[in-house]
Structure 1
Amino acid sequence: MRLSASLTRIIGIANVAVVTVAVIGLSLMPPGNVPHAKPKDVAKVEGSAAPPTTTPVGQPPGVVSTPGFARQVHANEAGLVPVLMYHRILAKRIASIDRTPGQLRKELEKLAGQGYVPITAREFATGDIRVPAGKFPVVLTFDDGHPSHFALDAGGNPAPDTAVGVIQEVARKFPSFRPVATFWINREPFGMRDRESQAAAVRWLVDHGYEVANHTWNHPNLRALKRKKVSEQIVRVERLLKKLGVPPSRTMALPYGSLPRTKKAARAGAWDGTRYDFAGVFLAGAEPSLSPYAKKFDRGAIQRIQSNGKKGECRKWCSQYWLEWLHKHPGERYVSDGDPDRISIPETLRGNIVAKRGLQVIAY
C-alpha cells in the first residue's frame, strides 16, 4: 500500500494519539491494576494441563508453491498484516484501551470467520509464516502481562474470560483458528509474585505454542531514559525469562509505543554483561504492518493496531476500521501460499519485496 505524503503525516499524528490515549489510560489505572502492581492474593498456577507439544501448535503441513498454484489461491505475501494490540481484558472497561471478554471473543470469531490464522510476533518478525494456502496471518499481542491475560482454573485449564481462555474457546469453535498469541510481560508476569507460579504460567504458555517475551522491567517511557537505562530495563526482563525457563526473547513491545532517543537501543544492546538482539520491535501504532518480506519493512519499528471500535480517535485507526478496510481491499492483504520456503506474489509486486533467509520467490 503506497501512502501519499499527506496520509503519512496523518498516520503519524494518529500514532501519537494512540500512544497518548495509552499513557492517559494507564495513568488512570487504580493501583491494583497497573502492569507491575503487587496484588495481595494471587493463586499459584500448578503446572501444565498437557505435555509439551513436539511441533508448532496448529501449523499446517507444508505444500510446494508454483506460479499456477499461487495464482489459484490469490497468494500475495507482500501484502499487509494486522498486528492487533490488546491490554486488559475486563468484565467492565476502565480505560478506553481495555476490552471485555465479549468484545475480544466477537473480534476473534470475526477474524476466524474471515479466514485469518494467528501467528506469534516472533514468527512474523522472523518471516516464519506457516499459514494454510489462501488464508491470512494475524498477530494477536497482549501488553503488560496482566492477570486478565492468563490464569489456570482448578482443573489446570485456562480460566474462562481470560485472554487465553477466550482464544482457546474460539479455536475449539473454529478448528482452523490457531490458538497462539504473544504476551509481552513486565517484572510480575500475570500478576504473579512468586517464581514458582510465574514459571508454571510461562511454561504452560510456551508448551502450548504461545510466545512470552519482553516489555521492559517496569514499563517506563524509554524516550525519557538514557541508553544504559534502556538496556537495563530490557536485560532485567531477559534474565527473569531465563530463570523462568523461557528462551531469549526475539521480540519486544515498546511501553507506550515510545522509541528511545537512540532507536537502535531498543533492538540490540547490552547491560551488566548480558546482551539482547531482537528480530522485531513493536510500536503502539495505527495501521497494519508491512509484510516482513517488504523492502520497506522496518523491524525496529513494527506497526500495530489497537483493538477497538470506530469512536473518537479510533474512527479510522483501530481494529474495527482496519479489518473492514482490509476486507474491502483484498488485493492489499497478505494472502499465504501455504509454502514456508517460498514467497509468492503477483508479478506486479516483484519489486516491492526482498527474499529473507534465502527463500525462493514465486511470481505469477
Structure 2
Amino acid sequence: MSYFTQLLEGGYEAVHLLSDSRTGLRAIVGMHNTRLGPGLGGTRALATYTSEEEAVADALRLARGMTYKAALAGLPHGGGKAVIMLPRGNFDRAKLFESFGRAVESLGGRYITTEDSGTSTDDMEHVRKHTKHVVGLKERSGDPSPVTAYGVARAMEATAKHVFGRPDLKGLRVTVLGVGHVGMYLVKELHERGAKVWVSDINAASVAHAVKEYGATAVDADTLHRMEADVFAPCALGGAINDATLPLLKVKAVCGAANNQLLTMRHGEQLAGRGILYVPDYAANAGGLINVAQEWAGYDREKAYARASNIFDTIDTVLRRAKESSLRPEQVADRMVEEKLAA
C-alpha cells in the first residue's frame, strides 16, 4: 500500500521522513489529527524494524492512538508520534538525538516530542539542545512512567467497580505482563492497594525487583496467560491480545498500560464473546500524556496527578455507556473521541 493511500484511508495529515547522513538518523514522524492542538507523542527508537514500510506503519498507527488518547483525556493536543530506526552497530547516540532535535524543530511546532520505548530523559536532553518542542525533561516533569501507572491503577479501580461491584483492588488477583518502567510502577501501585500480583518479563532482574520490593510472584509468560485471575494487565509492547494468547486467558477483565493491546479489532470482539471486559488501552494509559501535556502548559505535579486521577471517571463513563448500549467499551470510547473531533 502506498504512503498516500495509507494517509488518505486512515485520515492522517502527514508523514515526515527525516534523515541525517552525518549521524545516521532515520526518523519518521506521523501526524494523524491536529484539530485540537499540536501533535504530542513520544519517540520510539528501535533497531528491530525490518523495513522502512514497517517503521512508517508503526509511526502512523501510534500517531492515531495519540489523537484518541489526547481527545478522550480532554487535552488541547492532537496525535503525533515518532519512530527512529536506530543504526546497526556502533553510533554516537548523543549526536543522533541532537540531529533528531533539529529535525523536530524543522516541523515548526506541529509536533512536540517526549520519551517512549527505547528512549529516555537523557535522550530528550540532547533533543532539547536544538528545539523547544520537547517535554519529559529531567528538571521539569521527568519520567512520565509513574503517572502512567497511577492512571492505569485508577482505570483498574473503575473496572473493579463495574466487574466486581467495588471500586478498590484489595485482594484482586492481577497478572502483569511486562515490568519495565511503567509495568514496575504499576506493580507498586497494585501492591499499595492490596492486590495480589503475578509478573512475567524477559528481564530477569526486573522480575526479581518486583518480587523483592513489592511481593509479586514470578511466573513465565505462558503460565501467566493461563492463570485464573481477575485482571490481566498487558504492560509490554502492543499486540498482547492475539490468536495465540486470547484463548488462554481466564480473567474477568483486561486493563493495562501497553499501547495497541488488541492485535486486531476482532480480538476485541472475541474477548467480549468470552465474557472478558476489555478496557480501551488509550483511555487507561493516558496518565503519561497528561503529565507531559501539563509540562507543556507549565508543570504542576499536583495538577498532573489530579487530572490523571480523573481517568477513573473516564473509564466509569465508558463502561456505563457500554452497558447501556450494544457496543463494546472500545467502540464507545472511539465514538466519544469522534464526537469531540467533529464538534
Normalised by the length of structure 1, the TM-score is 0.31
- State the structure with bigger RCO (CA 8 A, min sep 6), 1 or 2: 1
Normalised by the length of structure 2, the TM-score is 0.32
Structure with greater helix share of residues: 2
